[in-house]
Structure 1
Amino acid sequence: MHVKHLIDDGKSIKETAETYGISIDTLYYYEKLGLVVPHRNPYNSYRVYTSENFFRLNVILELRAMGLSLEDIQEYLRHHDFQSTLNLMDKALKSIREQRDKLVQQERDITEELKRDLTALSKAQSSKTTFVRFPDRPCELASTDLLFYEDIPYAFAQYMTTNKHERLKTLRSIPTYLVDTTQTVNGCFPAKAIMLYTGEKNPEVPYIIKEGLYACRTFEGPFLESVNIYEKMKEEIAELGYRICGDPIEMCLIGAYESDILEEHVSHIEVPVEPTEISDNHGLVAK
């Protein structure tokens, strides 16, 4: 039987890239790093990939599929013996476990986000004011500047980048604002403090929404409606025998991060209150 040479005098860079389903730029980069350096045709200086190069590419691409970095692979090929292979496999196994743990956490986060959104929608449909006694609630404090609402996304981005809070993701945190009701800017109450509320009981965070009794209402529609909702709540609070004793808190439960349709947005207002002498604690709920 005739013995067949598969690569004869070598393969071009285009043929090599097509063999692995990778880009020519990837091969250029591997060559720049010294991982895979092809021979050169002495007549035209074209790159020629030989059996040695294919051996290295087989190893590199398999290790990359395991999640190992090019730096790890460089070091491995520089000291290529059995012990280094065992060490690298151990490192790959640790990397896979870390990725698995991250995926499990992402699954939990997405499940919680879905549950939170459905709960918010259910509360909005009731459109009633309830009175709830909350404990202290830790929040991440993004800014205490009086900001226009259009500046808030940048304030969140700046804060999370500066403080390296990988766990604070926009879709998994509730944008929360302590607002100034003495004025309106572009139809909204300006925010005196900008927070991210996750529901986590972490005593180390720098800001606490103080415990106490709050008049609460959740509503569907544009965030601009919060001013009108607050005015209605003020009347209802007084009628039920309570008085306002602090600045309101606004929470964006479903907003621009979840939908571009304003009518689908869901907001939540909490107004700190205390009972007057005639109050009968109407609708009080303990949290």
Structure 2
Amino acid sequence: MGDPSLRLSFTIGEVSQILDIPVDTLRYYDKIGLLAPHVRDTNKYRYYDLEQFDSLITIRMLRAMEVPIERIQELLKERELTGIQGLLREKRTDIDRRLVYLNRLSGKLDSLHAKLRKFEDADTIELVRTEPAWVLLTDSIMESGDRKLGSRVQEQVRRIREPKEWVAFCHIISIVSQENLQAGRYHNYLNNGILSTHPMDGEGETFRKLEPFYCARKYVVIGKDDYAKLDEHYEHMKAFIARRGFRIAGHSLEINLYNQYDRHYIEIHIPIAEK
């Protein structure tokens, strides 16, 4: 078989360190026949030729693209480039979609970070123009007597064609009607639902676009059983709107930005217009 020391060969440990591939993974590749070491000496030590680094780097690249081992075996057995070319086109599409997702996620993280800092001053009320959003609305969970409401919502979500990445951009919302808002009935919800900052333009049957609007905005922290404390915040917001010479122009929107076990961090929007 020859003396491995006379060849440009590397032990399995050396290959592992050089290419950052775990030894157990290299043994697994050997076991399933994906890539076996070129030489085994009388002590059953594995030695890899330098030429095999090319194959291992190819395998590592394909695994980084989340190509299954079985598919890699098929590609390495092919004598033409048709298979790998088709795979690369497919992965290019996946990566482009992933880059769009990551860019949106980066913006979401920046926005959420900025909003969470607002909770440091719970007395501040701002006049702002909202960003576009997409909402899935259901009957109020607390007001509805429909025992099948949960099943209907589940079926709506199941029909969404958008990749599940949109879930990372969602918040649970509650809506108080303009009538109840003005009458001080802040816990009689008109709707509950889901708000997505991820564009859901192709899901018109399930999500509707919430166009930007001007509103009074407040960030509120309450205990999980302290929803009654929202009353004083709504009263402060209504007084603020009146002092500024505006009127309530629509339903209020409560967005659950972040939940801990015993604390809820809520962003409240009350639409406004000039009197």
TM-score normalised to structure 1 length = 0.56
Q: Which residue of 2 aligns with 1:251?
A: 255
Q: What are the Cα deviations for residues 184-217 of structure 1, in whole angstroms up to 9, with x where unaligned?
A: xxxx959762322437473624365999xx9943
Q: Which residue of 1 aligns with 2:91?
A: 95
Q: Which residue of 1 aligns with 2:270?
A: 270
| Deviation, structure 1 residue 103 | 1.2
| Deviation, structure 1 residue 27 | 1.1
Mark the CA change 1:178 to 1:204 in structure 2 (over 3 Å): closer, same or farther.
same
Q: For residues 233 and 65 of structure 1, what CA distance do their matches in structure 2 show? A: 52
Aligned length: 239
Q: For residues 65 and 199 of structure 1, what CA distance do their matches in structure 2 show? A: 27
Mark the CA change 1:125 to 1:72 in structure 2 (over 3 Å): closer, same or farther.
farther
| Deviation, structure 1 residue 76 | 1.2
| Deviation, structure 1 residue 71 | 3.2
Q: Which residue of 2 aligns with 1:20?
A: 19
Q: RMSD of the TM alignment (CA)?
A: 5.3
* Structure 1, gaps ≥5 residues long: 148-157, 183-187, 272-282
Does residue 219 (structure 1) correspond to residue 215 (structure 2)? The answer is no
| Deviation, structure 1 residue 168 | 1.6
Structure with more strand by fraction:
2
Q: For residues 156 and 12 of structure 2, what CA distance do their matches in structure 1 show? A: 43
- Equivalences for 1:123-134 in 2 at 5 Å? 127=125
Does residue 140 (structure 1) correspond to residue 129 (structure 2)? The answer is no
SS of residue in 1 equivalent to 2:164: coil
Does residue 35 (structure 1) correspond to residue 24 (structure 2)? The answer is no
Q: What are the Cα deviations for residues 43-86 of structure 1, in whole angstroms up to 9, with x where unaligned?
A: 55x3523437556424423444566443332111222x1x23x5
Q: What are the Cα deviations for residues 208-242 of structure 1, in whole angstroms up to 9, with x where unaligned?
A: 5999xx99431234145533212445677899897
Q: For residues 208 and 58 of structure 1, what CA distance do their matches in structure 2 show? A: 47
Q: For residues 96 and 246 of structure 2, what CA distance do their matches in structure 1 show? A: 54
Mark the CA change 1:229 to 1:56 in structure 2 (over 3 Å): closer, same or farther.
same
Q: For residues 215 and 87 of structure 2, what CA distance do their matches in structure 1 show? A: 51
- Equivalences for 1:1-287 in 2 at 5 Å? 5-7=7-9, 11-38=10-37, 43-44=42-43, 46-51=44-49, 54=53, 56-64=55-63, 68-79=67-78, 81=79, 83-84=80-81, 86-111=82-107, 114=110, 127=125, 138-141=134-137, 145-146=141-142, 165-170=163-168, 172-178=169-175, 189=187, 193-198=192-197, 200=199, 202=201, 204-206=204-206, 216-223=215-222, 225-233=229-237, 248-252=252-256, 254-256=257-259, 267-270=267-270, 284=273
Q: For residues 65 and 244 of structure 1, what CA distance do their matches in structure 2 show? A: 52
Q: Percent identity?
A: 20
| Deviation, structure 1 residue 146 | 3.9
TM-score normalised to structure 2 length = 0.58
SS of residue in 2 equivalent to 1:74: helix
2:47 maps to amino acid: Y
Q: What are the Cα deviations for residues 102-137 of structure 1, in whole angstroms up to 9, with x where unaligned?
A: 21442244336635765895xx8861679x9x9x97
Q: For residues 96 and 87 of structure 2, what CA distance do their matches in structure 1 show? A: 14
Q: For residues 233 and 174 of structure 2, what CA distance do their matches in structure 1 show? A: 16
Mark the CA change 1:236 to 1:48 in structure 2 (over 3 Å): closer, same or farther.
closer
| Deviation, structure 1 residue 17 | 1.8
Q: For residues 63 and 215 of structure 1, what CA distance do their matches in structure 2 show? A: 49
SS of residue in 2 equivalent to 1:22: coil
Q: For residues 53 and 267 of structure 2, what CA distance do their matches in structure 1 show? A: 59
